[in-house]
Amino acid sequence: MVNKKNDDTQERILAASKKIFLAKGMSGARMQDIANEAGINKALLHYYFRNKEQLFETIFKEASAQFFPKIAGIIESNLPLFEKIEVFCKEYIDMVIENPYMPLFVLNEINKDPKRLKYRIWKEKESPFEKFAIHVEKEIKARRIKPVNPGHLFINMLSMCIFPFLSKPMWMLASGMDEAQSELFIEQRKTEVPKFIIDSIKK
């Protein structure tokens, strides 16, 4: 029989870890910070997780199990290109709103071991970007869009969706936005980003 008390404690630890990692980054987070946030002592925290790297790994696995397959499914879908761009931007932003620590985790993994990250996301499968590139080339040949490098197009989509999350403290300070205004701004990105991308490539 599953011990509900143990489950509750672990969930509190994971929730506290997400909050601390988001606020302080991987390098700045301390196990004592996480224990304080979870309302437990450090010894109990170490009983559940040996170190912050194990915590980070657990949270990343949990989030990426849903995040990456959904994004890959959109990229590999048979949607028309413009609709695919719209759906990708909306879903990507929605998923990062739900998992705001995800960009931090991905950047940490990229810097640490990009090959391992690639394997964890796609296993032995071909990267969905290959199918996206074929789709873009097809649209170019059909003269439905301007000639564009598929890599630049994909990175533009990705970076325009993710950068507001990575730079949030900076641009909130620079723009004078409060939290409510920031949330509205992010919501607007769901339509602003695909419109900008599509306008830049359509004939």
- Residues of the chain with pLDDT > 70: what percent? 93
- Tokens describing residue 62: 């949990």
Least Cα distance to 32 among 11, 19, 46 occurs for 46
Find the radius of gyration of the CA atoms of the chain.
20
CATH 1.10.357, applies to 59-201: yes
Average pLDDT, the chain: 88
Residue 92 has pLDDT above 70, yes or no: yes
pLDDT digit string, tens, across residues 152-163: 999 999 999 999
Q: What 8-state DSSP symbol labels residue 49?
A: -
Residue 122, pLDDT above cutoff 70: no
Q: Is 2 a residue whose pLDDT tops 60?
A: no
Categorize the per-residue pLDDT at 1 as very low, low, confident or very high, splitting at 50, 70 and 90. very low
Least reliable range by pLDDT among 115-119, 140-144, 184-188, 191-195: 115-119
State the Cα–Cα distance between residues 4 and 12, nearest whole angstrom.
12
CA atoms of 144 and 117, how far apart (whole Å): 34
Quickly state the pLDDT bin for 191 (edges 50, 70, 90).
very high
Residue 36 and residue 34: Cα distance in Å, rounded?
A: 5
Q: And the tokens for 149?
A: 């490098």
The ranges assigned to domains in the chain are 1-50, 59-201
DSSP sequence for 124-159: TSPPHHHHHHHHHHHHHHTTSB----HHHHHHHHHH
Q: What is the pLDDT of residue 5?
A: 59
Structure tokens given for 28: 């700045």
CATH class of segment(s) 1-50: mainly alpha
pLDDT band with cut points at 50, 70 and 90 for residue 120 = low
Q: Which amino acid is at 18?
A: K
